[in-house]
């Protein structure tokens, strides 16, 4: 009896111990060291002093969006920070310090509610990506027609054909009709997230935040103080609102809107799509299925032949028709309706724009309200597009800001999925399969930033907290030794 009781007791204890071990393993965060003796120059959040490396990893796993972290060594042992870079390559650059840089494994991806690209409709992560979050779908329609638009996929080596950023789907919060005024002062964007220097893949698959033109006009890039982009999106009843705060040390006006300005692309259904002309996020390489509407904007020279003389600001109001592209009038914005996607019959030209250049601050503000009627054009698709224009709609989107320093040409660029617009002429149709996407979301969440920018949402007249690029919190905020 005693022997049997002891056996039962040992069995129960073993079961309890196994359950405890299993639970501990389930709750334990797994991680990989990627860099030694350095921290990323991205923004960061302090996860508090931790007793050991595993505890630091566990703290990261409990923080929404935490994918990378650093843990101190030497006299900084125990210090733990959430690094807000988007990839393990740390495109912001490395800073030598008493920290080691780690990637959290198996915890983030589009099926994880803490991930920035969480998608409740995705079935599973395929585990094939690290710098990206690989998410695969099992629905038969995905197998038949390619990857689901909302799901991540890895880009094959040497190309950006299937590149998907962790910010593949941006949420544009809804705002009241009169909440945002187009005047170049971005203080009324408070509470709406700005996205700073989002990495993108070049033609060879390299991850960068700025790309120089490969032709003879290509310019050099010297970091965020040379060129940096913070942008935000919102929506209201019949418009998509776009704000961009661009730090540009040398600003030269080009004779075309796009040369040193802002370019936008919107995906609508092509002639063979389920709903031709209606905003969608299929992102097919077949332009009969996915079609792009292209709109460019910027300042124009006071006189066409003197490109470096320009007005400090300009506006084109709602319903105003911009001058033809062959004209360059004083104190006018350039709002160029380049290409109407989806078979729309004519431009409505209802969009509005304000551009402000603050030369002492080396910053340019773009603030635009793109009319839904200009995204889809006049025609039978307008009524269907208006029905679709509501919370939950997702459509392909790309943003490019061009840079030209010593030449008034497109010497380089940055932005959000810029390769939907640049380098892929494709007969003027560009490349919709290389676009990102935007989701029309509910009311604006609390103020936040995706890259540690500290105040890129302010006006350029001294009301913002500072540059959005370069990251806040990297350096002195972590203690001695430059961090």
Q: How many CA atoms lie within 13 A of 47 on its CB side?
A: 31
Shared domain check, 325 and 244: yes
Alpha helices in 236-353 (DSSP H): none
Shared domain check, 223 and 282: yes
pLDDT digits (tens, 9 = 90+) for 24-45: 444 567 788 999 999 999 889 9
Shared domain check, 95 and 174: no
Cross-strand bridge partners of residue 414:
401
- CA dihedral of 136, 142, 143, 147, whole degrees rounded to 10: -60
Q: Please name the residue that has the structure tokens 């919370």.
A: 391
- Residue 290 belongs to a domain: yes
How long, in residues, is the chain? Answer: 483
DSSP for 396-446 reads EEEEEEEE-SSSSS--EEEEESGGGTSS--GGGT--GGG-EEEEEEEE--S
Cross-strand bridge partners of residue 235:
174, 240
| CATH number, domain with residue 60 | 3.50.4.10
- Residue 121 belongs to a domain: no
| CATH number, domain with residue 337 | 2.60.40.1190
Q: What is the mean pLDDT of each run of 10 residues along the chain (483 residues)?
A: 45 46 51 91 92 93 84 95 86 92 68 55 46 40 36 54 83 94 92 92 86 69 84 96 91 70 94 93 92 89 49 64 42 80 81 88 92 87 90 96 72 91 82 94 60 37 33 34 35
Show the domain range for 428: 157-443
- Residue 116 belongs to a domain: no
- Residue 117 belongs to a domain: no
Domain count, the chain: 2
Nearest to 226, CA basis, from 249, 252, 196: 249
């Amino acid at each position: 009896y005693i022997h049997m009781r002891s056996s039962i007791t040992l069995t129960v204890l073993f079961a309890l111990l196994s359950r405890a071990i299993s639970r501990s393993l389930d709750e334990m965060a797994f991680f990989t060291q990627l860099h030694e003796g350095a921290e990323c120059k991205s923004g960061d959040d302090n996860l508090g002093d931790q007793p050991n490396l595993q505890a630091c990893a566990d703290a990261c796993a409990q923080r929404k969006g935490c994918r990378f972290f650093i843990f101190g060594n030497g006299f900084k042992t125990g210090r733990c920070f959430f690094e807000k870079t988007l990839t393990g390559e740390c495109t912001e650059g490395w800073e030598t310090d008493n920290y080691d840089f780690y990637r959290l494994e198996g915890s983030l991806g589009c099926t994880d509610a803490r991930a920035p690209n969480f998608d409740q409709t995705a079935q599973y992560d395929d585990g094939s990506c690290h710098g990206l979050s690989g998410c695969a779908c099992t629905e038969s329609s995905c197998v038949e027609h390619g990857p689901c638009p909302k799901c991540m996929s890895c880009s094959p080596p040497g190309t950006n054909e299937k590149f998907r950023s962790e910010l593949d789907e941006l949420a544009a919060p809804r705002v009241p009709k009169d909440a945002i005024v187009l005047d170049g002062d971005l203080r009324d964007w408070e509470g709406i997230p700005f996205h700073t220097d989002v990495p993108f893949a070049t033609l060879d698959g390299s991850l960068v935040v700025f790309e120089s033109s490969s032709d003879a006009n290509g310019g050099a890039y010297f970091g965020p103080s040379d060129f940096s982009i913070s942008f935000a999106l919102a929506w209201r009843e019949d418009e998509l609102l776009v704000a961009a705060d661009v730090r540009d040390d040398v600003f030269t006006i080009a004779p075309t809107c796009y040369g040193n300005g802002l370019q936008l692309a919107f995906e609508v259904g092509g002639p063979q799509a389920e709903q031709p002309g209606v905003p969608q996020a299929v992102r097919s390489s077949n332009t009969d299925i996915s079609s792009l509407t292209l709109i460019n904007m910027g300042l124009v020279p006071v006189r066409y032949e003197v490109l470096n003389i320009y007005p400090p600001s300009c506006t084109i109001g709602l319903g105003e028709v911009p001058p033809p592209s062959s004209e360059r009038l004083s104190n006018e914005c350039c709002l160029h309706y380049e290409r109407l996607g989806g078979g729309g019959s004519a431009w409505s030209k209802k969009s509005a724009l304000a551009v402000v250049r603050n030369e002492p601050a080396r910053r340019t503000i773009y603030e635009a309200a793109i009319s839904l009627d200009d995204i889809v054009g006049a025609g039978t698709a307008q009524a269907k597009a208006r029905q679709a224009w509501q919370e939950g709609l997702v459509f392909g989107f790309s943003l490019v800001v061009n840079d030209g320093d010593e030449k008034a040409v497109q010497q380089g660029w940055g932005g959000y999925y810029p390769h939907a617009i640049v380098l892929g002429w494709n007969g003027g149709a560009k490349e919709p399969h290389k676009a990102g996407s935007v989701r029309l979301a509910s009311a604006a969440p609390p103020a936040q930033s995706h890259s540690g920018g500290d105040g890129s949402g302010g006006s350029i007249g001294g009301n913002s907290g500072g540059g959005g690029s370069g990251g806040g919190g990297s350096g002195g905020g972590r203690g001695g030794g430059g961090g």
